[in-house]
Homo-oligomer: A and B are copies of this chain.
Amino acid sequence: MDLSANEANQQENANAMVKVRTIKDIAELAGVSTGTVSRALAGSELISKKTRAKIQALADEHGFRPNVLARNLRIQKTGAIGVLIPLGHEKGQHISDPFFITMLGLLADRLTEKGYDLLLSRVIPTDGSWLERFVDSGRVDGLIVIGQSDQVETLDKVAARYRPLVVWGGYTEGQVHCSVGSDNRKGGYIAAKHLIERGCNRLAFFGDPKALEIGQRLEGCRQAMAEAGLSEKLSVLPAHLVAEAAHPDIANYLGSVGERPQGIVAASDVIAMSALRALAEFGLAVPGDVHVIGYDGLAIGEQTVPRLSTVSQDLTQGAHHLVDMLLRRIAGEDTQSVVMEPELIVRMSS
């Protein structure tokens, strides 16, 4: 290796050594201006093919990635969608809850498909500002809120001025914010009717009607019972939503109730699973002694023994709706709330 080769080599090493972090570094290396680099990297036709190629080569030789923050600040977009879970109505409810988690996964899948990232934040609404704070932080291009909890007012207030916001949950007449959810009343009706058709005369509803959606499901149940002339035969147990908390509720109930219900309408699949387990512990056969039906259509319902009958909300489609509508709202379009058809899925527990 002669001297000049050595020098050339050192030069090359020196080049490789330069830590290329910014567009400016690339610009210096290529002997052009930062503007040119920016355009070249964006594949702009304004830049000649030759320099474009050269700059791009340089860029991936050094593994250069433009700083997303700076870019976002300039173009006023973030490429991220915020997903908020207001944990208002039930203490101790974690993000780890199967329903949230399922919805979250589906949203993540869909958003990723559409080229967005997902910024997750659990919020415990202490005052009304939790939403506003997020909205105004400029960190996301849009917001999906999972569940209305007891925050309908806050949601309506913010929705009035901040357009890229969609909510998973129930729909009520006159609601300002754009929501996606299933027809809970109808779902409850279907569930109860199914059990009645299976020969159940006494039903129990497991779930706390204080939450909007659950209340609506209960209404549906009531209607079905009324139509069958069984209005008096429906009892309600305001069981917790969280699996660990639901189980004792249910076990207590089953242990102390006078006339055992012939059918159980659970307000969620998680509650239904707790019910299945409690029934098994009491030595009651499902569906022999008691018929059970859940609500949500979660995948785990396939894995229970017996496999869980349920009213399915088609969360996959729901997630698609949420994302697609949000993107349309971001684009400036207007959108209507979506109320999806619930679907009865009869498996083995009813």
Q: Which residues of A contact B (CB under 8 A)?
A: 63-70, 72-73, 78, 80, 94-98, 100-102, 104-106, 108-109, 112, 117-122, 129, 132-133, 136-139, 243-244, 270, 273-274, 276-277, 280, 299-300, 302-307
**Are B243 and A137 in contact (CB-based, < 8 A)?**
no
Instruction: Report how many copies the assembly holds.
Output: 2
Known: A119-B117, A303-B273. Contact between A68 and B137, CB under 8 A? yes
Chain B residues within an 8 Å CB radius of A72: 69
Chain B residues within an 8 Å CB radius of A277: 302-305, 307
- Closest residue of B by beta carbon distance from A246: B303
Q: List 18 A-B contacts (CB under 8 A).
A: A63-B129, A63-B136, A64-B136, A69-B78, A69-B139, A97-B105, A98-B101, A100-B105, A104-B105, A108-B120, A108-B122, A118-B119, A120-B120, A243-B303, A270-B303, A273-B300, A280-B306, A300-B303
**Are B100 and A95 in contact (CB-based, < 8 A)?**
no
Chain B residues within an 8 Å CB radius of A78: 69
**Are B117 and A112 in contact (CB-based, < 8 A)?**
no
- Choice from B68, B80, B96, B97 contacting A138 with Cβ under 8 Å: B68
- Choice from B63, B66, B68 contacting A132 with Cβ under 8 Å: B63
- Closest residue of B by beta carbon distance from A132: B63
**Are A65 and B137 in contact (CB-based, < 8 A)?**
yes
Interface of chain A, main secondary structure: helix
Known: A72-B69, A138-B68, A305-B277. Contact between A98 and B300, CB under 8 A? yes
- Choice from B64, B95, B96, B305 contacting A305 with Cβ under 8 Å: B305
**Are A109 and B95 in contact (CB-based, < 8 A)?**
yes
Known: A69-B69, A105-B94, A138-B67. Contact between A302 and B122, CB under 8 A? no
**Are B299 and A243 in contact (CB-based, < 8 A)?**
yes
Bound together, the chains give a CA A245 to CA B270 distance in angstroms of 23
**Are A119 and B80 in contact (CB-based, < 8 A)?**
yes
Bound together, the chains give a CA A40 to CA B106 distance in angstroms of 42
- In angstroms, how far is the closest chain B Cβ from the Cβ of A133? 6
**Are A243 and B121 in contact (CB-based, < 8 A)?**
no
- Choice from B68, B104, B133, B307 contacting A104 with Cβ under 8 Å: B104
Most chain B CB atoms below 10 A, which of A118, A120, A273, A306:
A120
**Are B105 and A69 in contact (CB-based, < 8 A)?**
no
Q: With contacts A112-B122, A118-B120 known, what are 6 further pairs, Cβ within 8 A?
A: A69-B73, A98-B300, A104-B104, A117-B119, A270-B303, A304-B305
- In angstroms, how far is the closest chain B Cβ from the Cβ of A118? 4
Chain B residues within an 8 Å CB radius of A137: 65-68
- Closest residue of B by beta carbon distance from A108: B95
Bound together, the chains give a CA A312 to CA B268 distance in angstroms of 26
